[in-house]
Amino acid sequence: MAPSSNSSNSLYEFVVRDGNGVKGLVDSGLSEVPERYIQPPEEQINKLESSPCDMQPIDLSKLNGPEHDKVVDEIVGAAETLGFFQVVNHVVPVELLESLKEAAHTFFNLPPGKKAVYRAGVSPSPKVKYGTSFVPEKEKALEWKDYISMVYICDEDALQYWPNQCKEAALEYLKLSSKLVKQLVEILVGKLGVELDDSKIESLLGMKMVNMNYYPECPNPELTVGVGRHSDMGTITVLLQDGIGGLYVKVEEDNDAENGEWLEIPPIPGALVINIGDTLQILSNGKYKSAEHRVRTTSTQSRVSVPVFTVPLASERIGPLPEVVKKDGLARYKEVVWQDYMNNFFGNAHAGKKSLDFVKINSAKLE
């Protein structure tokens, strides 16, 4: 039953606690967004104030030919500037991308009770979690998004606990994306002039998680956000978006991180979106940019996206690589045990690139 009164408490209980999600709210019939979803004006997304990102997708098949160095430069250049780029001719078959989008719709179209069994605390596995918004208990305004997240332990675990509607596609995608991430990280770390042995790389890429995000159609997209401004905490995120659009990235300005322009990452059939996360910004001592991004909703159609997050092992100590600090003459971030960084990340609502403040040194001087 949808909340009968308009009280914020009953809405919260219906959407968050009982696991109906935003989808349940929309399905109960809704002509305008409830108060609890209205963002403060500075967080609302005005479509007219951004332009499409015109960066051409990077053709990864060319890494194996005479244009190898040029492609490496394109990857490094994008990581140093926007922190976002798209890739085509990658390892993930286009048919698998189509199956993933379908699987996401199939899962979120299940009756609420079938999804709610995966809520935190009742889910058959602590590695599988269905939820809504980001950290609802910390947010003044909730995000217009439901999600299921699946942390990879091993194939048997995935096939036993991940939802039937999406487990095969999600597992295959996670494995292929992991190859892509490793290849990109090796290129980016290599260009820092650092050689990391295989076990160090494996620890930096030690935890992998695939999410399916579902943004139901929204009666007032101009008042809400699908996902608020944030950066991802990991090394590199591989993201599949569908054809709806609405993913925006902020262009960092050297002296004014607060006021950069927003670019929309246009959907390109068959492409994957790649974005640099906080881990790589820290490791590179700020050379690679963890991209601030956010998602707008639309009034006409639901949107799905499927990110694969790759983050260091919880026990790993993460800080700027010593060779880079030596070259730069100073460390811009302090070293942190990755579990502490994650606790801070998931303990706060999305707030742009604030997550990096946790490790920043001399924050006044840096963006």
Compute, in degrees rounded to 10, the torsion defined by CA atoms 274, 277, 281, 283. -100
**Cα 171 from Cα 154, distance rounded (Å):** 10
Options 293, 332, 353, 360; binder of ligand AKG; rule CB under 6 A:
293
For every residue of 177-201, DSSP letters joined together read HHHHHHHHHHHHHHTTT----HHHH
Options 149, 177, 285, 305; binder of ligand AKG; rule CB under 6 A:
305
Nearer to Fe ion, 232 or 278 (CB): 232
Nearer to ligand AKG, 14 or 130 (CB): 130
Considering CB under 6 A, how many residues would be counted as binding ligand AKG?
A: 11
Give the residue among 37, 32, 22, 80 at the shortest CA–CA distance from 225. Answer: 37
Residue 295 binding ligand AKG, by CB under 6 A? yes
Q: Which does 213 bind (CB under 5 to 8 A by kind): Fe ion, ligand AKG, none?
A: ligand AKG
**Cα 162 from Cα 130, distance rounded (Å):** 11
Nearer to ligand AKG, 86 or 241 (CB): 241
In this structure, what DSSP letter does residue 67 have? T
- When CB distances to ligand AKG are compared, the closest residue is 305
Q: Are 335 and 214 in contact (CB under 8 A)?
A: no
Q: Which does 92 bind (CB under 5 to 8 A by kind): ligand AKG, Fe ion, none?
A: none
Residue 227 binding ligand AKG, by CB under 6 A? yes
Closest contact distance (angstroms) between CB of 244 and Fe ion is 16
Options 43, 143, 146, 232; binder of ligand AKG; rule CB under 6 A:
232
Which residue stretch of 90-98, 239-247, 253-261, 353-361 sits at the interface with ligand AKG (rule: CB under 6 A)? Answer: 239-247
Nearer to Fe ion, 90 or 229 (CB): 229
Residue 232 binding Fe ion, by CB under 5 A? yes
Residue 352 binding ligand AKG, by CB under 6 A? no
Nearer to Fe ion, 275 or 285 (CB): 275
**Cα 144 from Cα 182, distance rounded (Å):** 32
Is 201 exposed, middle or buried, given 0-12, 13-18 or 19+ CB atoms closer than 10 A?
middle
Nearer to Fe ion, 109 or 348 (CB): 348
Give the residue among 355, 311, 310, 305 at the shortest CA–CA distance from 333. Answer: 355
**Cα 238 from Cα 327, distance rounded (Å):** 30
Residue 74 binding ligand AKG, by CB under 6 A? no
The packing angle between helices 94-108 and 167-190, to 10°, is: 130
Sign of CA dihedral 366, 251, 238, 69: negative
Please name the residues in contact with 218: beta carbons below 8 A apart, sequence gap of 6 or more. Answer: 26, 33, 144, 224, 297, 298, 299
Residue 57 binding ligand AKG, by CB under 6 A? no
Closest contact distance (angstroms) between CB of 178 and ligand AKG is 17
User: How long a stretch of residues is the chain?
Assistant: 367
The packing angle between helices 167-190 and 68-80, to 10°, is: 90
Options 177, 241, 290, 310; binder of ligand AKG; rule CB under 6 A:
241
Nearer to ligand AKG, 211 or 310 (CB): 211
- When CB distances to Fe ion are compared, the closest residue is 232
Residue 307 binding ligand AKG, by CB under 6 A? yes
Nearer to ligand AKG, 14 or 134 (CB): 134
The footprint of ligand AKG on residues 196-215 (CB under 6 A) is 211, 213
Most distant CA atoms of the chain, gap in Å: 65
**Cα 365 from Cα 367, distance rounded (Å):** 7
Options 26, 78, 79, 247; binder of ligand AKG; rule CB under 6 A:
247
Nearer to Fe ion, 280 or 324 (CB): 280
In this structure, what DSSP letter does residue 7 have? -
Closest contact distance (angstroms) between CB of 231 and Fe ion is 7
Using CB under 6 A, list all residues that contact ligand AKG.
Answer: 211, 213, 227, 232, 239, 241, 247, 293, 295, 305, 307
Using CB under 5 A, list all residues that contact Fe ion.
Answer: 232
